[in-house]
Structure 1
Amino acid sequence: MTPVMTAEELNAFMSEVFKQVADEFNVDHVGAGEVTMRLLTSDKHLRPGGTISGPSMFGLADVAAYIVTLSVIGPRALAVTTNCSIDFMRKPAANVPLIAKARLLKLGKQLSVTDVLLFSEGMEEPVARASLTYALPPPHVN
């Protein structure tokens, strides 16, 4: 799956379409059906116990699935999540970036299916794994 958008284009798209959260995320790498990106964590992402909250980890997984899908289909803002399953496996470190490695498993005419591994920066083992499905807008709808 050849990318049609670069990391720079995807970051610019996020800044344009999702101004409210774009400064929290950064796309680091775009490859053939894969992206690596990060959530720039802060105290607002913590839960009691001093770890990254589940909703923050879900948010990164969801954005990573969206971004890897757009990297192949282009800037179609109206792609939406239709399903997500996430396994929380380890306690992520606080106040270090959370890294997502997303891989597009299938891209059809109406759906994309993505697998996302989440890592605390500096940790070798994943802290979570998510499987997401996105519904794609018709080609004439952005």
Structure 2
Amino acid sequence: MTVEELTARVRSGVPLAAALGIEVVSADAATAMVRLPASDLSMRPGGTASGPALMTLADVAIWVPLLVATGGADETRTAALTISFLRPAGSGGVLAEVRIVRQGRSTVYAEVWMRAEGSDKPCAHATSTWLRAAAP
């Protein structure tokens, strides 16, 4: 799938991702880079990306490599998401780098490092467990 196709799939599958303007920058079956652009919808008072926007970014970012691996037909679901906010992201865009750490028969475990565009310092770190959908 192209990054344009992945962005469209993410936005149709998670309407909040569309509202926030989340876009796929790069992806393969084990990693991805996803971007949250700055917008009034993603900001909190004080002019920095909000926690809910960063949690959405992390969750959507994890889905991207799974979509690549299945040609867009992934049916896994988030079971747990833990996030640590390390510093304010600032008022610009935020990049999320995801890595699928482990894929089992019934679960997927991944981590996401987020940073403000133009910065090397992380603003947030998330880990997540996803459950594979049971066969009908």
- For the aligned pair, the TM-score class normalised by the smaller chain equals 0.7 to 0.9
2:127 to 127, 131, 139: 131
Q: What's the TM-score once normalised by structure 1's chain length?
A: 0.84
Show the counterpart of 1:41.
38
**CA RMSD of superposed structures (Å):** 1.9
Which one-letter code corresponds to 2:14 in the other structure?
Answer: F
Identity %: 31
Q: Distance in 2 between matches of 1:82 and 1:25?
A: 22
SS of the counterpart of 1:71?
Answer: helix
Contact 2:85 2:124 in 1 (8 A): yes
1:77-96 residue CA offsets vs partner (Å, 9 max, x unmatched): 542110011110011111x2
Change (3 A) 1:91 1:19: closer
3-state secondary structure, aligned to 1:67: helix
TM-score (norm 2): 0.87
**Matches of 2:74 and 2:93, distance apart in 1:** 25
Give the deviation of 1:65 after TM superposition: 0.9
Deviation of 1:61 after TM superposition, in Å, equals: 0.4
Amino acid of the residue matched to residue 45 of structure 1? S
Match 2:4 to one of 8, 17, 23: 8
Greater Cα offset, 20-29 or 80-89: 20-29
Q: How does 1:22-33 map to 2 (within 5 A)?
A: 22=18, 24-33=21-30
